Amino acid sequence: MKKILVANRGEIAIRVMKTAKKMGIKTVAIFSKADRNAPHVKMADEAVCVGEAPSNQSYLLGDKIIEVAKNLQVDAIHPGYGFLSENADFAEKCEANNIIFIGPKSKAIRMMGNKLAAKDAVKEYDIPMVPGVDEAITDVEKAKIIAAEIGFPILIKAAAGGGGKGMRVVESEADFEFQMNRAIGEATSAFGDGSVFIEKYVSSPRHIEIQVMADAHGNIIHLFERECSIQRRHQKVVEEAPSSVLTPELREKMGEAAVLVAKSCAYLGAGTVEFLLDENLNFYFLEMNTRLQVEHPVTELITGLDLVEMQIQIARGEVLKVKQEDLHIKGHAVELRIYAEDPLNDFLPSVGNLEKYQLPVGEGIRVDNGYEEGMDIPIYYDPMLAKLITYGKNREEAIQLMIEAIAKYEVKGIQTTLPFGAFVMQHQAFQSGNFDTHFVKKYFSAKIIHAQQKQEAEVAALIALQQYLKDQKTLRLPKI
């Protein structure tokens, strides 16, 4: 594999190219007109403009991207996350054009992309699932009977869904038909597929996911868990590894279950198996994400592995270099996603010019970043600017380092979620590890950040005053 095209932008395109360079592989960037001066373009050995700013006229143009890859004699395409990464048709077209898609086979992508098909595939293995139905509901009356059997509250989910779209909680039978119709409507408009199914609603879960890696020779390993419960409207904000609630026994059980999920779809490459964990530490398989995830760095830090390097080795047909028994968790890593959004204004996108942009540096601090000072933030794409990741010998150390790194991260010109990150890191529920997916809803309001910032301003004023008085004293000293 001599040349890889990275079909993405921002921090993940840079992240992939970094490893490609390390491995002596040439890189090709693609970019839209809005990104012609973006850092990922400068980093690549070659770069090709694939279209207009909107992603459906550039980064999502699979055929065009394959054409570019063929013209430049590219051996493989890395899709990153988002965009074409979970597009089974694109993966198939790559193969048809003799270009390696760095990811699983299209069949696995398709299977895991449909939640019902995924349930069907894993059914043959002993993997715990939330009580519910395993087929699309079509008959409301029949569905009501099933719902009553499962017991309210229940959750209606879209088969083609993910990210919470088309999901409705139903508290009672009286509310069932109305919510079901809304779920079908939402699913139809979002995915063009109105199939929905029912599950028992787990009311206060944690979101724990297991990283898996599978080679083309039948070897599948797991790289432990990531805790991703701190999220806002299905957008993750903070992730960490390991989770502070898993025991070694539970970790092993969940890891084994994740490996079986990968086995059930003949998985290849890096994947993530999502589970819900209830208050009693029962875990349930939710879905499998068939891509490298945003939060993969926390896994890299606690295992010492380069996940992109492993993806590339697997795509080249190599045997996994590490065995399950070789793997051990070392230390603790926390990741904060930094979005160009205003936490004081309902997280509205904050576009503009990055007048000042200085990243924190230091031991245990990693920043996976996609922007630089002076750039305009385009409105067309995901608002995530960077990921700030800290690593320490234990959780307390990683959190403390994160608080310091947030303070050292300098951004002017736009609003970011950095103050929100500081809020999470300093919160007692987060620090104690006692939280679930409702953390943000339960504890956060813009008022709290206002109060925090006012307090910080007061402290700063006091320090300034103290210094002023001290300086005056010094200045008044008579000269000898």
Question: Footprint of ligand MV4 on this chain (CB under 6 A)?
Answer: 130, 155, 162, 164, 199-202, 205, 207, 231, 234, 276, 286-287, 437
Of 5 and 130, which CB lies nearer to ligand MV4 in the complex structure? 130
Question: Contacts by 360-365 with C-beta closer than 8 Å and gap 24+?
Answer: 360/388, 360/404, 360/405, 360/406, 360/408, 360/409, 362/401, 362/405, 362/408, 364/390, 364/391, 364/392, 364/397, 364/398, 364/401, 365/389, 365/390, 365/391, 365/401, 365/405
Give the nearest distance from C-beta 381 to ligand MV4 in angstroms. 22
Return the structure tokens found at 214. 């599978």
Q: What are phi and psi of 217, to 5 degrees?
A: -115, 15
Give the nearest distance from C-beta 273 to ligand MV4 in angstroms. 12
Of 85 and 415, which CB lies nearer to ligand MV4 in the complex structure? 85
SS3 (DSSP) at 450 = helix
Rounded to whole angstroms, what are the CA distances from 113 to 31, 152, 291, 423?
Answer: 27, 27, 11, 35
Q: Residue 103: which region, alpha, beta or left (left: phi > 0; alpha: psi -120 to 50)? A: left
Give the nearest distance from C-beta 238 to ligand MV4 in angstroms. 12
Distance CA 453, CA 460 (A): 10
Of 207 and 296, which CB lies nearer to ligand MV4 in the complex structure? 207
Of 95 and 135, which CB lies nearer to ligand MV4 in the complex structure? 135
Of 164 and 352, which CB lies nearer to ligand MV4 in the complex structure? 164
Q: Which of 28, 84, 104, 102 is nearest to 311 (CA)?
A: 102
Instruction: Point out the catalytic residue in the list 110, 168, 291, 337.
Output: 291
Give the nearest distance from C-beta 166 to ligand MV4 in angstroms. 10
Give the nearest distance from C-beta 82 to ligand MV4 in angstroms. 16
Distance CA 3, CA 27 (A): 6
Rg of the chain (C-alpha set): 24
| Catalytic status, residue 226 | no
Query: What letters, b where the CB count within 10 A reaches 16 and e where it falls short, cover 27-36?
Result: bbbbbbebbe
SS3 (DSSP) at 289 = strand
Of 112 and 414, which CB lies nearer to ligand MV4 in the complex structure? 112
Q: Residue 192: which region, alpha, beta or left (left: phi > 0; alpha: psi -120 to 50)? A: left
Give the nearest distance from C-beta 171 to ligand MV4 in angstroms. 13
Degrees (nearest 5) of the Cα angle 79, 113, 272?
65
Return the structure tokens found at 262. 């990968």
Active site residues: 291
